[in-house]
Structure 1
Amino acid sequence: MSKVKYYYDPDTLSYRKIEPKKSRRYRNIGLFVLGAALFGLVSLVFLLNTNLINTPAELSLRREVNNYELQFELLNKKMEQMEEVLANVEERDNNIYRLYFEANPIPEEQRRAGFGGINRYKSLEGFNNSEMIISTTKRLDIIKKQMAIQSKSLDEIAKLAEEKEKLLMAIPAIQPVSNENLRHMASGFGWRSDPFTKARKMHRGMDFSAAKGTPIYATGDGKVKRADNNSSGYGKHIRIDHGYGYMSLYAHMSNYNVKKGQKVKRGDLIGFVGSTGRSEAPHLHYEVWKDGERINPINFYYGSLSAKEFENMLKYASQENQSLD
């Protein structure tokens, strides 16, 4: 309730009530309404820019944003697990797989190389959670790149494994005459007495004494390079090119079971023992060549002999006796 004001009237010697002007009253009311409106507007702007009051739409968006943040957190935890698994695979790749197949390990700087050049995350800038989104996206891109490098490496390992298997099958690794058909190991690799001149001579193969017609087997996978009687001293002989620098030679045969250009597998029957060429008695003269040099075949029988059999062969092969060719 507004206060009533009075003034002293000297003419009547009494107090008279002051009647406010209507224009002034309207002005005061207008100022009050205007002030209230401004106060309400300022209060509304303030409230809209705080979390004190949210509209249903804002509350829904806030829940959605919180859910996205939770999903990003879960995604980062999953990426941590992926990084651990990937690191384990990379370690085995470098220290086991590539070591076994004698391949150079992939350099760490190549595996961890970043993304240079343009800013590929520019479109993700300018948002409230840009830092989190860019960090997660960049981390995911790095994992994808590392997985691509590792996938390529494993493809290479698979090829190396296939090549290694071919190499192991190609190396002359079995005895060319089976033990049940073998009379004895007549002569080994090294200095021996020549059966014809009796002079001491380097014998660059191994002689397996066996009856004429005894089967002879390919000692490794390969391709028949020669099957003829056109090499001095060897008589009827076969040469098998195994690849990887290896070649095996089978001499003094009585007959062939393969022909030039034919592909053979380890253990295939290729011919029969004889005594053709420069030979004193039926036997197989067997040689192994590596990169054009004849080497001791006794180092290549791991595929067919037991430890005891190999020990006996080594004993007889080491004796400086007389060769059969």
Structure 2
Amino acid sequence: MSKVKYYYDSESLSYRKIERKKRTTFKYASFFILGCAFFAFIFVFIASQYLESPKEKAMKRELHNMELQFELLNKKMSEAETVLANIEDRDNNIYRVYFEANPIPEAQRKAGFGGINRYKTLEGFDNSKLIIESNKRIDILQKQIVVQSKSLDEIAILAEEKEKILAAIPAIQPVSNEDLTRMASGYGMRSDPFTKARKMHWGMDFTAPRGTPIYASGDGKVVRADSGSSGYGKHIRIDHGFGYVSLYAHLYKYNVRKNQKVKRGDIIGFVGSTGRSEAPHLHYEIFKDGSRINPINFYYGSLTAEEFNKLLEHASLENQSLD
């Protein structure tokens, strides 16, 4: 029960009971309620700033874990980008150069994604910018991998084709050095053994005893093995593909037949002196796209540098040919 309060009335010279008005009571009650609400708000605000609920703690742990995973993802993307950049560099500056293919332009490798905004659904979140940038990196990385994969497929095809070309090009001396008496005459202007006039000698003459083995200088198909070409006597022509044809003339006998496929190093015939020939030797020619070219440039597969220099020295002498 609340205490009864009095005041002294100077007019009546007596104490009178203080009567509290309802209005005043309501005012005090309102102030009390507002004060409680204010202090409650302050308490809640302070608690929200400095105190965490179990749910908030769990969400904070989850957020920290997501940030850690995102950091690891970015690190892996950076590592993948570094590895891919290294592969792209080797692709453009080694593989494609070796196989004589045009490098892939940087703009094509790292092109973005134009047109409609493909990341619109990722907008409006707290970390939208971060999420969008990460998705862009992943998309560009995926595109670069696709481009590089297609490039490597192309390189594989070129490598297979290059291997065929390297096997087909006439690359060895058709007569072994052990069986060779001498390199009688080279490509160029030479003295004709019969007329003594200077004329163009379109091949190289290798002097060797009759019956010396003659080797195919590259993979190919025998397109002629006959004596139907004037002056060559018994001769063989091998089509190596890619525009290359090799010719072997003045043979003693054949070891292959027309349309037979041969490999580099196969014995195709034997040295003789048939046709327009002064002595047993092999007359050897190479055609590229129908034109005769100097065979001296096609012995890298069987001669050492010293042997090649010696052969080059003999081939450059303007002596008499044997056919």
Give the alignment's TM-score, normalised by structure 2.
0.89
Gaps of 5+ in 2: none
Equivalent position of 2:9 in the other structure: 8
Work out the CA distance in 1 between the residues paired with 2:254 and 2:6.
144
Say if 2:133 is the partner of 1:138. Answer: no
- Pairwise CA distance, 1:3: 7.9
Q: What is the aligned length?
A: 322
Instruction: Report what 2:207 is aligned to.
Output: 209
Trace 1:66-77 onto structure 2 (pairs within 5 A). Answer: 66-77=64-75
Match of 2:18 in 1: 18
Provide the residue aligned with 2:257 in structure 1.
Answer: 259
The separation in 2 between residues aligned to 1:275 and 1:178, in whole angstroms, is 18
Indicate whether 1:298 and 2:296 are aligned.
yes
CA distance in 2, matches of 1:222, 1:32: 110
Name the structure 2 match of 1:181.
Answer: 179
Give 1:122's aligned residue: 120
In 1, Cα distance between equivalents of 2:15 and 2:136: 87
Instruction: State yes or no: 1:63 paired with 2:64.
Output: no
The aligned counterpart of 1:150 is 148
Contact preservation (8 Å) 1:7, 1:18: no
Q: When the two structures are superposed, what TM-score results if normalisation uses the length of structure 1?
A: 0.88
Q: 1:168 aligns with which of 166, 178, 189?
A: 166
Whole-angstrom distance in 2 between the partners of 1:145 and 1:124: 20
Which amino acid letter does the alignment assign opposite residue 16 of structure 1? Answer: R
Q: Which amino acid aligns with 1:140?
A: I
What does 1:21-100 correspond to in 2, within 5 Å? 27=26, 31=30, 35=34, 39=38, 46=45, 50-100=48-98
Q: In structure 2, what is the Cα distance between the partners aligned to 1:169 and 1:252?
A: 26
Relative to structure 1, is the Cα distance of residues 146 and 2 closer, same or farther in structure 2, using a 3 angstrom cutoff? farther
2:271 to 270, 273, 277: 273
Q: Distance in 1 between matches of 2:10 and 2:137?
A: 91
Equivalent residue, structure 2, for 1:319:
317
Decide whether aligned partners of structure 1 residues 100 and 2 sit closer, same or farther in structure 2, where only a CA change above 3 A counts.
farther
Specify the SS of the correspondent of 1:84: helix
Percent identity, please. Answer: 68
- Per-residue CA distance 1:38-90 (angstroms, 9 max, x = gap): 54785588569x54444322221121112111221222222222222222222
One-letter identity of the residue aligned with 1:243: G
Structure 1 residues 40 and 256, CA, compared in 2 at 3 Å: closer, same or farther? farther
Q: Aligned letter for 2:275?
A: G
Q: Offset of 1:205 from its aligned partner?
A: 0.6
Q: Tell me, what secondary structure is at the counterpart of 1:137?
A: helix
Specify the code of the residue in structure 1 equivalent to 2:119.
Y
The one-letter amino acid paired with 1:247 is V
Please tell me the residue identity of whatever aligns with 2:199: K
**In the alignment, residue 4 of structure 1 is paired with which amino acid?**
K
